């Protein structure tokens, strides 16, 4: 896909849902690994017995930033064999405009991402900047785990 073809295609998708990912189970092992990597070992994440007794959530919960860090995977953007836009040289996370964590992800929950394309613009040098609204759903929960506006750039 050429730069101009991608630009035209993406502009036609602004305001629409562009991706619904598959479910991913957030188990205690993943939470523990994230805690080890980030040095955030707060008991509400890593002590299942205490979290079951003392937390208002009935068990350990994932770090909000763990949920946030899974967005590229949940949105289907990290498979090198299937780039989101054929013909691109690379895709990079450029930042976030807004992030909220409306509902905790209890260990053992399943999450998935819904992506809505908010905007796309040319930023020069055969580069497009996209803003997407990412909603990370929790299977069976009324509120999402995370709602974030991501900014990414794709280079052709």
Name the residue with tokens 């929960």: 141
- pLDDT tens sequence across 63-101: 999 999 999 999 987 776 777 677 888 889 999 999 999
Name the residue with tokens 């849902």: 17
128/155 Cα distance (integer angstroms): 7
| Other Cβ atoms within 10 Å of 50 Cβ, number | 12
- What is the pLDDT, as a whole number, of residue 89? 87
- What is the pLDDT, as a whole number, of residue 1? 64
> Which regions of the chain are under pLDDT 70?
1, 80, 84
Q: Where are the domains of the chain?
A: 3-26+64-155
- What is the pLDDT, as a whole number, of residue 77? 79
Q: What is the pTM of this model?
A: 0.91
99/44 Cα distance (integer angstroms): 21
Do residues 110 and 26 make contact, with C-beta atoms less than 8 angstroms apart?
yes
| CA distances (Å), origin 82, targets 30, 78, 87 | 25, 8, 11
Q: Which option is the CATH number for 3-26+64-155: 3.10.129.10, 3.40.50.2300, 3.40.50.2000, 3.40.50.1100?
A: 3.10.129.10
- What is the pLDDT, as a whole number, of residue 90? 86
């Amino acid at each position: 896909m050429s730069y101009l073809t991608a630009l035209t295609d993406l502009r036609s998708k602004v305001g629409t849902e562009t991706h619904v990912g598959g479910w991913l189970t957030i188990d205690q092992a993943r939470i523990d690994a994230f805690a080890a990597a980030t040095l955030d070992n707060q008991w509400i994440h890593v002590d299942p017995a205490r979290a079951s007794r003392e937390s208002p959530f009935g068990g350990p919960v994932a770090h909000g930033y763990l949920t946030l860090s899974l967005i590229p995977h949940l949105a289907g953007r990290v498979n090198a064999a299937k780039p989101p836009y054929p013909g691109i040289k690379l895709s990079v996370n450029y930042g976030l405009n807004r992030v909220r964590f409306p509902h905790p992800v209890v260990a053992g929950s399943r999450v998935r991402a819904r992506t809505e394309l908010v905007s796309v613009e040319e930023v020069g040098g055969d580069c497009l900047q996209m803003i997407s609204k990412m909603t990370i759903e929790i299977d069976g929960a009324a509120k999402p785990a995370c709602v974030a506006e991501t900014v990414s750039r794709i280079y052709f």
